[in-house]
Structure 1
Amino acid sequence: MKNTVSSLGAGSAETLMHRVFQSFIDLLSSAGDAEGFSKAIATAAAAMDLSCFAYLALPLRQGKEPLVISTYPTDWVKHYLCRHYDRLDPVVMQALQDPEPFRWGLGLAARHLSSAQHKLLSEASGFGIRFGFTVPIHDGHGPIAALTFSTDEKRPQFESCINSHARVLQLMAMYFHAHVRRKLSGDRRLGEVLLSPREFECLSWAAEGKSFWEIGHILGISRHTVASYLDSAKEKLGVRTIVQAATRMAAAKGNSHN
């Protein structure tokens, strides 16, 4: 029987968590498609007694569907997207407003819900999605994605993991989003300038105020490599500073939402 993080003592749990996290980073680095990314987070989640997950990235332009990578039942995901539930899902709505991770589910305090939202939650419950922990992912210009771990009932292992490792899960969500955006997003054009995946990613994190060291830590590269990508991005954009480059990115993102 394999060990899980929640079933071990404090010292052993810390060691195993380190291994789980390192394995997660290795799988992320080698992933090249949605299936690979799903395997990375699913493997880590299983080791932490978190049975189901769902990553939802909002579209940059109106008229496009959100990107969903999850282990939720396929029929539910299709139904959710077909009904455009991302536009009224109370979990998504909270993630849009609050950058801090939060719990949700039956019996937990919640704001006033519309009849359509009650219907959505009832339908989700029918697929075993009743309780969860959601990590909103915001960049410097607003909310862009969320990673949720869910369960069909209040399980001690699930609660223990959330209580002990909420910040680790938040960091995993940031890493996951950073790698997915770099490898699966094709929207890397700022005006007439097309940035490479790494240039775009480094500039995105720099625009959020991350240091070279922090960006390198998130992306698994050295701070000197980060500096090189940012220098290349500045040269392509014809600017002298990161602040100027970030301003160009903000303007481009603003136009993409209009």
Structure 2
Amino acid sequence: MRYRKQRYDRIDPVVIRARRDRDLFHWGGAQASNAAEDVQKRFFGEAAEFGIEKGVTIPIPAGFDRFASFTFAADQHGPDLYENVEEAKVLLRIMGTYFHAHVEAVFRAPVVRDPSAPLSQRQTQCLTWISLGRTIEKTAQILDITPRTVAFHLDNARAKLEAENVTHAVALAVRRGLIP
């Protein structure tokens, strides 16, 4: 509760690293003393007060630039987690991915789909990436298609949704539960 209230996810070096890395990593007291900012040193100090001294984190890509992480933590006298999980990291990544999918399914608000304007898979992908702030060119790179093809799918989605422009199409698609 304190973690969320203090918005520690914005300064937590473990979360910051999990956002950019794709492989399992370990962390601990050495990072606390090498922390770049005083706020991070204070963060590690508070974590130690709660008995969290070291751990192993498995980053989990969640699609469309979202991520999750699966972390095992221990106190100062706990086991060397890195040594114990290195040989099981593939299994741990699978466990983390399934756990994340379960949590996401349980806590996701029910979506009411609007069958009156079904979008193709490609239209949905293009609208989703645009909704995340990607340009047509970047969306084309991500989907490995040409920018002209992205524009074609966006225009067809706009027409199906009877939207005035692409921004309006994104808003309507989100409102109708057609894109996340």
User: Within 5 Å, which residues of 2 pair with 1:111-126?
Assistant: 112-126=35-49
- Equivalent residue number for residue 119 of structure 2: 239
Aligned-partner Cα distance in 2 for 1:97–1:111: 19
How many residue pairs match? The answer is 135
- Aligned equivalent of 2:26, options 94, 103, 112: 103
User: Within 5 Å, which residues of 2 pair with 1:3-152?
Assistant: 78-107=1-30, 112-152=35-75
The CA deviation at 1:156 is 4.3
Aligned-partner Cα distance in 1 for 2:48–2:61: 27
- Equivalent residue number for residue 87 of structure 2: 164
Matched, 1:250 2:129: yes
CA contact (8 A) 1:88 1:117 kept: yes
Residue identity opposite 2:118 in structure 1: G
Aligned-partner Cα distance in 2 for 1:94–1:159: 16
Provide closer, same or farther for how the CA distance between residues 245 and 86 of structure 1 changes in structure 2, counting only shifts above 3 A. same
Residue identity opposite 1:238 in structure 2: P
With the length of structure 1 as denominator, give the TM-score of the two structures: 0.45
Aligned-pair identity (%): 30
CA contact (8 A) 2:56 2:81 kept: no
Q: Which runs of 5+ in 2 are unaligned?
A: 134-169, 175-180
The CA deviation at 1:155 is 4.2
String of CA shifts for 1:187-229, please: whole Å, max 9, x gaps.
Answer: 74xxxxx34xxxxxxxxxxxxxxxxxxxxxxxxxxxxxxxxxx
CA contact (8 A) 1:135 1:173 kept: yes
Larger radius of gyration: 2
| 4+ long deviations beyond 6 Å | none
Aligned-partner Cα distance in 1 for 2:42–2:54: 16
Q: Which runs of 5+ in 1 are unaligned?
A: 1-77, 189-193, 196-232
- Equivalent residue number for residue 22 of structure 1: none
Provide closer, same or farther for how the CA distance between residues 244 and 165 of structure 1 changes in structure 2, counting only shifts above 3 A. same
Aligned-partner Cα distance in 2 for 1:108–1:126: 16
RMSD over aligned Cα, in angstroms?
A: 2.9
